[in-house]
């Protein structure tokens, strides 16, 4: 009889712990819903579009939101992240104060073609990209990257290029728009940026 009672109490304790953990599970929301969950624990996922100190700006390609997270040294523009924390106010707007953050996908894991980049520029503008193409022409400080049909072309600023015309390459760099020239360009100017021959 006593064993049955102890077993029942243990089983009831496990069930209670299960329900408590279920109640503590954060709600997954979009960045534009921060104001609805002020003070609550939530989870949000998005692409890093801006990083200023401990403040990250993310997007899901439709809306943007801000996350405060101090240990963000490994996070770069274009990384897909998931953050869990509590919503609070900062400078008149609602942001997520994250207590945990994980990188779901690094910006350079997937390569995209030059035509796809330029036809979907709004998704990639002002972020790191990993794009493939062919070297069309070179100068001392930049080269032109083109697609295999030479229908699309973009200027890539890169020092010390050791590749030749017509080489198939990958370019890991930052994707910009120059309003004064009405043109897009890529800069290879960070330690984690590179240009390499595509094998």
pLDDT (mean) for 133-153:
93
94: tokens are 């609602």
Asked if residues 11 and 22 have their Cβ atoms less than 8 Å apart, the reply is: no
Residue 193: CATH number of its domain: 2.40.50.200
Same domain, 100 and 179: no
pLDDT of 3 higher than 80:
no
Whether 172 and 193 have beta carbons less than 8 Å apart is answered as yes
Tokens of 21: 């953990």
d(CA 188, CA 183): 17
Please identify, among 47, 71, 105, the residue that sits at the C-terminal boundary of a domain: 105
Count of structural domains, the chain:
2
Three-class secondary structure of residue 193 per DSSP: coil
Which of 105, 124, 149 lies at the terminal end of a domain, its last residue? Answer: 105
Under DSSP, is residue 35 helix (H, G, I), strand (E, B) or coil? helix
Q: Work out the mean pLDDT of the chain and round it to a whole number.
A: 90
Is 82 in the same domain as 167? no
Judgement on whether residues 17 and 93 belong to the same structural domain of the protein = yes
- Is 94 found in the same domain as 35? yes
User: Does residue 96 sit in the same domain as residue 128?
Assistant: no
Cβ contact 175:122 at 8 Å: no
User: Looking at the structure, do residues 156 and 70 belong to the same domain, yes or no?
Assistant: no
- Residue 63 near residue 34 (C-beta atoms within 8 A): no
pTM here is 0.77
How confident is the model over 102-117, as a mean pLDDT? 94
Same domain, 18 and 99: yes
Average pLDDT over residues 65-73: 92
- Please tell me the predicted confidence (pLDDT) of residue 2: 73
pLDDT for 133 beyond 70:
yes
148: domain range? 112-197
CB contact set of 176 (below 8 Å; sequence gap of 6+): 125, 126, 184, 185, 186, 187
Whether the predicted pLDDT of 169 surpasses 70: yes
Question: What's the token pair of residue 136?
Answer: 């069309």
Q: Is residue 126 assigned to a domain?
A: yes
Residue 3 inside a domain? The answer is no
Assess whether 59 and 34 both reside in one domain.
Answer: yes
**The pLDDT value given to residue 111:** 92
Burial 105-132 (b: 16+ CB within 10 A, else e): ebbbeeebebbbbbeeeebbeebbbbbb
**pLDDT at residue number 22:** 62
Give per-residue pLDDT as tens, 9-68: 777 777 777 676 666 688 899 999 999 999 999 999 999 999 999 999 999 878 899 999
Pairing mode of beta strands 168-178, 80-90:
unpaired
User: Measured at the alpha carbon of residue 52, what is the angle toward residues 51 and 56, in degrees to the nearest 5?
Assistant: 45
Domain presence at residue 2: no
Q: Are residues 96 and 130 in the same domain?
A: no
154 Cβ contact list (under 8 Å, min separation 6): 114, 117, 118, 133, 144, 145, 146, 184, 185, 186
């Amino acid at each position: 009889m006593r064993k049955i009672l102890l077993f029942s109490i243990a089983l009831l304790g496990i069930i209670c712990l299960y329900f408590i953990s279920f109640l503590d599970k954060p709600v997954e929301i979009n960045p534009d819903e921060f104001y609805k969950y002020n003070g609550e624990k939530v989870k949000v996922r998005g692409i890093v579009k801006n990083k200023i100190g401990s403040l990250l700006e993310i997007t899901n390609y439709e809306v943007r939101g801000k996350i405060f997270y101090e240990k963000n040294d490994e996070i770069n523009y274009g990384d897909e992240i998931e953050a869990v924390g509590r919503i609070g106010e900062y400078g008149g707007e609602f942001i997520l104060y994250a207590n945990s953050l994980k990188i779901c996908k690094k910006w350079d894991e997937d390569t995209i073609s030059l035509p796809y980049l330029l036809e979907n520029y709004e998704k990639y503008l002002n972020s790191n990209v990993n794009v493939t193409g062919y070297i069309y022409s070179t100068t001392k400080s930049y080269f032109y990257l083109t697609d295999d049909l030479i229908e699309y072309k973009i200027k890539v600023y890169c020092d010390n290029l050791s590749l030749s015309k017509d080489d198939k390459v990958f370019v890991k760099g930052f994707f910009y728009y120059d309003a004064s020239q009405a043109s897009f360009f890529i800069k290879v100017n960070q330690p984690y940026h590179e240009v390499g021959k595509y094998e």
